[in-house]
Chains A and B, each alone.
Chain A
Amino acid sequence: MVMKNFKINKNQQPLSDADIARGKDFGKLVQAYKAAKVPFYKSPKQWMGASSVLVASVAAVLIFSKINSADQTSRPFISPPVASADIQSTVYVLNAQADSTINYPGGSKIHVPANAFLDKNGKIVTGKVDLHYREFKKVDEVFLAGIPMTYDSAGEQFHFETAGMMEITASQNGEGLKTNPAALVKIDMVSANKEDRFNTYYLDTIEKKWKYTTQCNFNNANVADSNSAPATSPLPVKEIKQIQNEIVQLEKQKPNKPKKRDTGKPRFSIKVDPSEFPEIAIYKGVKFQVEDSSYRPDKADITWADIELKRLPGNNRYQITFINPNEKYRVIAVPVFDNKDYAAATKIYGQKFETYETALNKKKAGEAALAAKLKAKEEAPKSENDKITAAQKRANDQWAQAELVYRSFQVSDFGYWNSDHPCRLPAGNNMVKLNLTDAKTGQHLNISVCYLVEKERNALFAYGPKGLERFRFDAGKENGVWVMTTDNRLGVAKYSDFKSATTKGGEMELQLTMMNKTLKTTQEVKQYLEL
């Protein structure tokens, strides 16, 4: 039916959930976004308004980003530069059917609920389980573990600054295990960074990219104290509070028992918005019976332009306001049913009440279980896992001195997690072609990757071989460099080396100290990497 300004489609087929799911495609949207965002140097309007110098500089940055980005994709995904110096995991043997709290050296806590592991068939694992855990708090550890530190956001490449990373996996008899969505492991990882600009990311090793999961989540717990005290996890306390709030909210949703109309009282019907008043919309044949003395028969004959319905606190009462441009009339009413609708309403009420009661009982049982769990934790003797060796304590001395916080992770999948902040390459004015040579032999070095490290910033800025042609750094900062050559050798330029490097005609000559192949252990290589 075509009429005047609009095309009328009568009783068009409604949209189903499947239609909605079919149409949704965020990847396609991102592609369209990239295509729609015309680069500055391609826009004629921008060309006209900008000076040629500025355009040349912006174009150079864009071209540079492209070159650098291409370099990164050709590198192996997770590639520890020195296999023997990779950061080692600590393995904990746990009873899969019991709650456990592990105190990791340095203060991090791993809360493992009972039944947290599933086998490859999705069945809950019983018996002993090996839990493997390691942390990477500083960039040298991230570098040694070969973890990628770039993050793609809508096609734009960022570099991670980290407030801490970790890897957690589990196995039984050598078989990898999966997480149980109904009983997730929670980790309170100690971090020396108190800033709230760090998000939580998970490394998807199939798609080969970091994925954002949640916002920054940390608290200022006294980590130093928790090292020596038995584990009294704050988790159950929080959970109890949460479940108590949920109970309060649920009780507000208690369905109202249908009421039969009183023969002597006036009543009327109005249409209600089901989304605003679901408690009324579930019933058919609801009438509103006036409960106060405000009823005036003459108002019943007026045609009202609008009606406002407001839920009143207490016993299933509503305030109804009839509105015309020049007049308002208000009554207090309760929903009632005529005899013919009452039986059906009672049946619906029975069903809804049962659902409500079941949900409420479940929540209350959950509350009781958590309270018992908390009590048990408080009374439990100190476990083996709480003991920290003197050597481990020494290794964490620097962390013990810092002001530490816990960053929390809900481990929905085993693997790598971080609390990081994506940032761009250093924004200084210096851009050079970086030539790298072996300080001992003077030979030119062909690199597979070069990491720029700024002092006092826990970030790795990755440059591929082509990226070195347009190497940016902030001359106002102390900079160091770690490189991996194409023949798998490590090279270092310390802050002092970088500072004294000569720059001529836009090219910087930087000499690197190559690693002696006799260095094998993590500690030895870490020492070598010191800037």
Chain B
Amino acid sequence: MQPIEARTAMQELSGSTNYSREEALILAAQKDLQLFSALYEKYYGQILKFVYQRVTTKEDACDITQQIFLQAMLSLHKYEIRGFPFSSWLYRIALNEMNQLFRKNKKQRGINLEEKHLKTIVEELGEPGDEERENAVLAVLAGLQEEDFQLVEMRFFEYRPFKEIAEILNISEANAKMRLYRILEKIKPMAEKNLKKGL
């Protein structure tokens, strides 16, 4: 049987009882790492999908995901409850781990692209959706800086709400929106230019 929740260790820690079940579980897991298995069970699938979106093979995705949870386990004692979802913390670790791995192994970071993703962006840019234009947009996307591409990917490929994107990137929701609109404004003329070049 997998543990589904942990005792509320909060009173020992702060005297407060205003913790959600998950927060109580995190607090308990900080004291007893065996309880981390419940968090692992809950978030493994989400994080694996997140990683697989960014790598080429399922094997790589599984290896990196284990590495992410290992890092989470090693850093769990530093985790502070501040009202954000635990998943955001895991996603942040995932982004850091992947950046480090890509840098260390000099590997190109992957993009798991479905046709509907490109269509969504082209629609978002307010352009007619034909194959030529989609290719032109793709060429621009592939040249974006990692931090810009992350925003596009999370919003249009993974359909994440701004609130969650903001939590993952540790920025404000308004900032996430503003940055994304600026990126879109940047993509539009560049795609237009590519289209003219016949890319």
Contacts and interface: CB of A to CB of B under 8 A. Distances in A.
Contact of A196 (B5, B8, B45): B8
A4 B49 CA distance: 24
Contacts of A298: none
Contact of B108 (A5, A11, A25, A213): A5
B4 interface: yes
A162 to B, nearest CB: 15
A199 B49 CA distance: 33
Looking at chain A's contact residues, the main secondary structure is mixed
B101 interface: no
A303 B34 CA distance: 52
Interface in A415-468: 422
Contacts of A216: 7-8
B66 interface: yes
A371 B80 CA distance: 44
B108 A273 contact: no
Interface in A1-49: 2-13, 15, 19-20, 22-26, 28-30, 32-33, 36-37
B113 A36 contact: no
A154 interface: yes
A9 B184 contact: no
Contacts of B181: 305-306, 325
B101 to A, nearest CB: 14
A6 B1 contact: no
A306 B109 contact: no
A202 interface: yes
Interface residues of B, number: 62
A153 interface: yes
Nearest to A413: B1
A7 B143 contact: no
A303 B126 contact: yes
A383 interface: no
A214 interface: yes
Contacts of A19: 48, 58
A198 interface: yes
B37 interface: yes
A496 interface: no
B70 A213 contact: no
Contacts of B112: 9, 12
Contacts of A156: 33
Contacts of B73: 29, 33, 154
Contacts of B111: 6-9
B56 A7 contact: yes
A215 interface: yes
A169 interface: no
A262 interface: no
Contact of A212 (B32, B69, B159): B32
B139 interface: yes
Given A15-B49, A23-B65, A303-B126, A29 B70 contact: yes
Contacts of B45: 20
Given A9-B56, A11-B114, A24-B44, A196 B66 contact: no
Nearest to B71: A36
A323 B35 CA distance: 43
Contacts of A6: 108-111, 141-142, 149
Interface string A128-152: 0000000000000000000000001
A29 B69 contact: yes
| A-B complex: 3 closest residue pairs judged by Cβ atoms | A215-B7, A3-B142, A154-B33
Interface of B: 1, 3-9, 11-12, 24, 28, 32-37, 40-41, 44-45, 48-49, 52, 56, 58, 61-62, 65-66, 69-70, 73-74, 108-115, 120, 124, 126, 138-139, 141-146, 149, 159, 161-162, 177-178, 181, 184
29 contacts: A4-B142, A5-B144, A10-B113, A10-B114, A12-B112, A15-B49, A20-B44, A23-B61, A24-B44, A26-B40, A28-B66, A29-B66, A32-B70, A33-B70, A33-B74, A153-B34, A154-B32, A197-B9, A202-B1, A212-B32, A212-B35, A215-B5, A215-B24, A276-B161, A305-B181, A306-B162, A323-B177, A325-B178, A422-B32
